[in-house]
Amino acid sequence: MATIYWAGDSTVQYNDITTYPQTGIGQVFHLFLKPEVRVENHAKNGRSTKSFIDEGRLVPIAERITEGDFLFIQFGHNDEKKQDPSRYTAPFSGYMSNLEKFVNTAREKKAFPVLITPLERRCFVEGDQLGLGEHSDYVAAMKQTAEKLNVPLVDLYSMSRAELRKAGAQKSRDWYMNLPEGVYPSYMEGQTDNTHLRYEGAVMYAGCIARGLKELGGRYSDLLVAWE
C-alpha cells in the first residue's frame, strides 16, 4: 500500500476547527485516490522550502517514507517573501537547491518525488482581468529543477490560472477565503484573503493535480479512482 507524503504550505495543509472554513488541498486529496492509498500531510501554514527544512519538518518524512511511496512537493508562496529572511529564497538559486533536497530525500528511499508548481492567488485586476500574480519566477525555477533532475511535474500554477479565468472574479470568491463582510472567522476578521482556500476551492485544485497525475500515467495515474 503506497503512501503519499505532502510537503508544502497553507494551500496544502490539514486544517482543524481553529482555522475553519479554511481547507488545504492535501486535506481533500483523498477524494481522488483509491481507498488503499494512504496520505500523510506534513504541509504547514507559512512555510517556505527554507523554513520547512530549517525547522526539521523534512526529517520525519525522511524517516517514514519507504520504497514505492510518493513525495508531493508544493512551495512558492512563502519563498517569495523578501521581507522575511527566515523564509525567503531566491528563485534560481536557493529555491532550486532546496527543491533538490526534497527530491533527494524521496529518491534515497526509492520513493517517487513529484514537483507541483504553486497555486495561483485570486489576483483579479480591473474586473475580470486576471493579473500577473507573483509566482512566475518560482514556477520557471521549479520547471527547470524538474527538467534538470528528471522529476515529474504537475503544473498547478497554469491549471489554476485557467480555472480562475474561466470562473471569473465573482464565482472564484467561493473557492478562496475572501468571504463576505461579517462572516469571517474570528482569527482573520477584517482581512482580505485571496490565497487560502475554502472546501470548494481545495476540491477544485485537488482535481487539477489529479488530472496532472492522470496525464503522467503509469504509477501516478494508478493512484487515482476512475472519474471524469
Is 135 strand, coil or helix? coil
SS3 per residue for 116-129: ECCCCCCCEECCCE
- Grid coordinates representing 226? 476512475
- Look at strands 124-125 and 129-130 and give their pairing: antiparallel
Active-site annotation, residues: 10, 189, 196
- Look at strands 129-130 and 153-154 and give their pairing: unpaired
CB atoms within 10 A of CB 16: 8
Looking at residue 76, its amino acid is G
CB atoms within 10 A of CB 80: 20
